[in-house]
Amino acid sequence: MIVTVSGPPGSGTTTLAKRLSQRFDLEYISGGDVFREEAEERGVSVGEFNRLVEDEPEIDRELDERQREIAREREDVLLESRLAGWMADEHADVSIWLKADPRVRAERVADREDVTVEEALEESREREESESKRYMELYDIDIDDLSMYHLVVDTERWSADAVAEIAATAVEEVDER
């Protein structure tokens, strides 16, 4: 089974991905972790790395191709990244998108990263603009088009436990087929 979890920063993707991967014994692969590691190796912040990647699209292509290969070649994997659903595409059994109001997401990011809400809001805005531009230029993907996802969940409406149950129900339904 291939499950993807995607959404903007602070929407709860990591929380959900970890819960689902444990519950269904899926290998957990985080595109965000890979991206952050690349930024750290280069000695720059994630925001700075986003700007760098705008000028060096081969970095995005390489990272995204890794996800495509994983979806094609492995079984029982959960991929978490902004484009995981798009990269796994026809290989995904369940593709999930999480969303929440930008202010709510910024509050979550600020809490975990020890920055102000305004700093988190600005960095998130810049990051999302950068990613949106890159995804359109590289792959002709409109990141705001959620029609390819099997399930879209607004995480400000429900607790992390409730979101996990909603998603788990979707995974169980597909797994039973």
84-102 per-position pLDDT tens digit: 999 888 889 999 999 999 9
What is the pLDDT, as a whole number, of residue 151?
97
Please state, in angstroms and rounded to a whole number, the distance separating the CA atoms of residues 15 and 176.
24
Mean pLDDT on 140-163:
96
Phi, psi of 171, deg, nearest 5: -65, -45
Closest residue by Cα to residue 132 from 14, 41, 53: 53
Task: Give DSSP secondary structure letters for 50-102.
Answer: HHHHHH-HHHHHHHHHHHHHHHHH-SSEEEESTTHHHHHGGG-SEEEEEE--H
Q: What is the per-residue pLDDT across 26-75, written as a single tens digit (0 to 9) for each?
A: 999 988 777 888 888 889 988 788 788 878 888 878 888 877 888 888 88
Please state, in angstroms and rounded to a whole number, the distance separating the CA atoms of residues 117 and 107.
5
Please state, in angstroms and rounded to a whole number, the distance separating the CA atoms of residues 6 and 45.
21
Please state, in angstroms and rounded to a whole number, the distance separating the CA atoms of residues 118 and 14.
22
pTM more than 0.85: yes
DSSP summary character for residue 6: E
What CATH number matches the domain at 2-175, 3.30.1050.10, 3.40.980.20, 3.40.50.300, 3.55.40.20? 3.40.50.300
What is the pLDDT, as a whole number, of residue 31?
84
Pairing of β 94-99 and β 2-6:
parallel
Percent of the chain at pLDDT > 90 equals: 62
